[in-house]
Amino acid sequence: MTPHRLDRATARRVAVRAQLLDAERPTGLLAVVDRLTFLQIDPTAAVAPNADLVAWSRLGAAYRPSHLTRALETERALFEHRAMVRPMTDLGLHLAEMATWPEDARRRDWLAANDAFRRYVLDLLRDSGPLLSRAVPDRSVVPWPSTGWTNNRNVTQMLEFLAARGEIAISGRIGRQRTWDIAERVYPPGTPAAPADEARRIRDERLLRSLGVARPTVVGQAGEPAEIEGTSGLWRVDPAALDGTPLAGRTALLSPFDRLVHDRKRALELFDFEYRLEMYVPKAQRRWGYFALPVLHHDRLVGKVDATADRKAGILRVDAIHEDVPFAPEVSTAVHGELTALASWLGLPEVHRVRKAQGRRLVGGTVA
Q: Does the model's pTM come out above 0.85?
A: yes
Alpha helices in 230-328 (DSSP H): 264-271
Which pLDDT does position 359 carry in this prediction? 52
Residue 354 binned pLDDT confidence (cut-offs 50, 70, 90): low
The CATH fold of domain 92-185: Arc Repressor Mutant, subunit A (1.10.10)
- In the three-class reduction of DSSP (H, G, I as helix; E, B as strand; rest coil), residue 190 is classed as coil
Span 308-348, pLDDT tens digits: 999 999 999 999 999 999 999 999 999 999 999 999 999 99
Measured distance CA(307)–CA(207) in Å, rounded: 30
Helix (H) and strand (E) counts for the chain? 12, 18
- Least confident interval from 126-140, 168-182, 258-272, 347-361: 347-361
Residue 31 has pLDDT above 50, yes or no: yes
Task: Give residue 315's identity as a one-letter amino acid code.
Answer: I
Q: What is the mean pLDDT of residues 123-151?
A: 95
pLDDT given for residue 353 in this prediction: 77
Considering the chain, what is the average pLDDT of its residues? 94
Phi/psi of residue 345, each to 5°?
-60, -35
Q: How many CB atoms lie within 10 A of CB 267?
A: 19
Residues 6+ apart with CB under 8 A from 145: 151, 152
Strand 213-214 with 350-353, pairing: unpaired
Contact 131, 180 (CB under 8 A): yes
Exposure on the CB side of residue 271, measured as CA atoms within 13 A: 29
Q: What is the pLDDT of residue 201?
A: 98
- Annotated domain spans of the chain: 92-185
Contacts 24+ apart (CB under 8 A), 331-335: 331/251, 331/297, 331/302, 332/356, 334/250, 334/251, 334/297, 335/251, 335/253, 335/295, 335/297, 335/303, 335/305
pLDDT at 350: 81
- 9 has a pLDDT exceeding 60: yes
